[in-house]
Amino acid sequence: MRMYKCIFALLFLFFCSSCARNTNKDTQVTSEIAENTEKSIVNTAPVTFIISNDMKGEFVSIYRNLSLQSFTAERHLYTKKKSDTIQFAIDKAEIVYVASKFTTKDTLRVKNGDTIYLALNRKQLNISNATVLEHFKLSTDTIDSLRNSFYYIDYKSPFKLQSNTYQKLDPIFPLRINHENFKNKPVALVQLATTLVDRYKMLAKTYDSLGNKTPSLRPLYSLLKEELNYETFFELNRLYNYSKNEDLKKIITSDLFFNENTIDEHTLYKKLNVFIGKIILDGKRIREKSKLKMDYKTAFEVIPKYFQHTELIAAAKFVAINGDAMQGASKESLNNMIETFNNEFSNETYATYFEKIAEDYGLSKNISSQDTENVHIVDIHGKTTQLDSFINTNKGKVIYIDFWASWCAPCRAVMPDSKKLGDLYKNKDVVFVYISIDRNKESWKKAVAAENLETSTANFLSTNYTSATFFKELSIKTIPRYLLFDKNGKLVHQDAPGPDSAEIKNLLDKYLLK
C-alpha cells in the first residue's frame, strides 16, 4: 500500500508540473494511468465463509446460481462439520444463497476478498460481516396498478412445501391471471411494459452513479444493475407469454437485454434460458416418454436468427445443449450437438464447459461407457471397477445390492432402514452395496452426502447403465431394486426384498449359514 501511495504522489507532482503545457493531453494520460492502476489493485482474493455449527449432523448450505462465469465450479457447497471454512473464486461479484433445513435461503451479494461468518445454532442460521446494499424495487404504485389488471400473486393460497435436507423451502404462491384483459387491453399492456423499461433505465443510472461514488462497492452495484435488468426481462416475458403481443416481443429482443456487453453478465445464462423457452420456442413443449420437455434441439438450430453477435450465439447454443442434458437427452444427441458446436466455434472456454458436461452425464465415447458386456462402476473418489470384479473380490461374503438414484423418492425413503440393516450385520460377512443409476454425477454426489453414504466403501455410480445388457436382462427399469448374491458370488435373488422388510433378514441369515 505504501508503494502505491508513493507512485500516486510522484505521478501527481509530475503532472502538476506539466499541466500548464498541455492540460487536455495530461488529463487524458492521468485518467488512463489512474484507470490502469485501479485495475492492477483490484482484489482477486476468493470469497471466504467461516462456519460454526452447533447442531450435530445438520448441514449449512451455500448455493451459487448457474452462470457461464462459474459453470465448472461447484454450485452447491455444504458442510455439517462443527467448524469449517469454505472458499471459492468469483468473477468480481456474485449472488450466493445461504440456508439450513431450518431456515429459508438468505440472499447475499459478495465480492472478491469478502469474509462472511455463518453460525447455525438453535435452528437459526446467523450471518455476520456481509455487505448489505439497498436493492431498489422495480415496482411503483403506477406499475402495481397496471400489473394488477393483468395478474396478481395470491398470497392467501400458498402451496406449503416441506423442508429438504439442506434448506427450509419458501411457500409458493399461485399467480392469478386475467386472460380477458391480456386479450382486450393491448394499450394498457404496452404501457405497463414501457413503464417497467423506463423504471429500469432510471434505476440503472442510479446504480452506475452509486458505483462511481464508492469504487470499492462498484462490483456489487453492477451486480444489482444486472439483477434488475433480468427482473425486467423476466416480467416482460411473462406478459408476452400470456398475450403474444408483438410490441412486447420487440422490446424483449431489443439491445436493452442482449448486446455486445451482455456476454459478461452473471445473469446471462438464465436470461438466455428464458429467451429460448418463451421467445424461440414460444412457450411450447414436446411430449417425450410421458414427460413434457423443451425442444432444445430445435432451438439450437434456429438460435442464429435471433442474435447478431457471435459470442451471444455461442452462449445461447451452449445453454441449449446444457438444458437438453439436464432434461435427460440421449448421449448420442448431446454428442452430436457438441460436435456441431465445435465445428462452428473455437472457444477454449466452452471446451472446458463441455468437459464438465461429459463428466457429469457420462458422454465420453470410451470403452467403459460403450461396453455392453460388463457393468462399470465408479466410487465417490473417482476409482473405477467392474461389478463382476467387485463380486469376485468379495467372495466368501453375502452381497446385498441396492439400485437407487438421487431422484427416486421411494429409494431414499428406505435409506434409514438400509442403514439400520447394515448396523445389524456390520460384524458379519455381509456387504451392503449401493449402486446409483443417476445420469448426473453431481446429483449423485449431493444425494450421497445427504444420505450419509460417504463413508460406505461400497457406494458406486453405474457409468454404463443405458448400455450394459446386465440391466436389460434383469429388467432393472424401475427402482428401488435389490439383488442378493451368495458367498460364491452367485445371484440367488434378482428381486430381493427391501431393507424395510422382515424377509430380508431371514434371507441374509439363511445364506450366511451356507
Which residues are the active-site residues?
Answer: 408, 411
The C-alpha atoms of residue 1 and residue 320 are separated, in whole angstroms, by 46
The C-alpha atoms of residue 246 and residue 219 are separated, in whole angstroms, by 35
CA dihedral 10, 16, 21, 26 (to 10 degrees): 70
Determine which helix (DSSP H) or strand (DSSP E) holds 385, and give its type and residue range: strand 384-386
The C-alpha atoms of residue 409 and residue 414 are separated, in whole angstroms, by 9
Q: Which of 103, 34, 95, 40 is nearest to 70 (CA)?
A: 95
Amino acid (one-letter) located at 316: A
CB atoms inside a 10 Å sphere around CB 246: 9
Beta strand extents in 273-342 (DSSP E only)? 286-288, 291-293
Determine which helix (DSSP H) or strand (DSSP E) holds 417, and give its type and residue range: helix 415-424
Quote the Cα angle for 338-447-382, to 5°: 60
Determine which helix (DSSP H) or strand (DSSP E) holds 497, and give its type and residue range: none
Dihedrals phi, psi of 63, to nearest 5 degrees:
-110, 145
Q: Which three cell numbers stand for residue 54?
A: 452447533
The C-alpha atoms of residue 505 and residue 513 are separated, in whole angstroms, by 13
Residues whose CB is less than 8 angstroms from the CB of residue 354 and which lie 6 or more positions away in sequence, other chains included: 321, 338, 341, 342
The C-alpha atoms of residue 431 and residue 390 are separated, in whole angstroms, by 11
End-to-end CA distance of the chain: 76
The C-alpha atoms of residue 409 and residue 480 are separated, in whole angstroms, by 9
The C-alpha atoms of residue 455 and residue 497 are separated, in whole angstroms, by 24
Please provide the DSSP assignment of 87-137 as one string: EE--SSEEEEEEEETTEEEEEEEEETT-EEEEEEETTEEEEES--------
The C-alpha atoms of residue 129 and residue 118 are separated, in whole angstroms, by 9
Alpha helices in 218-275 (DSSP H): 218-243, 246-252, 268-275
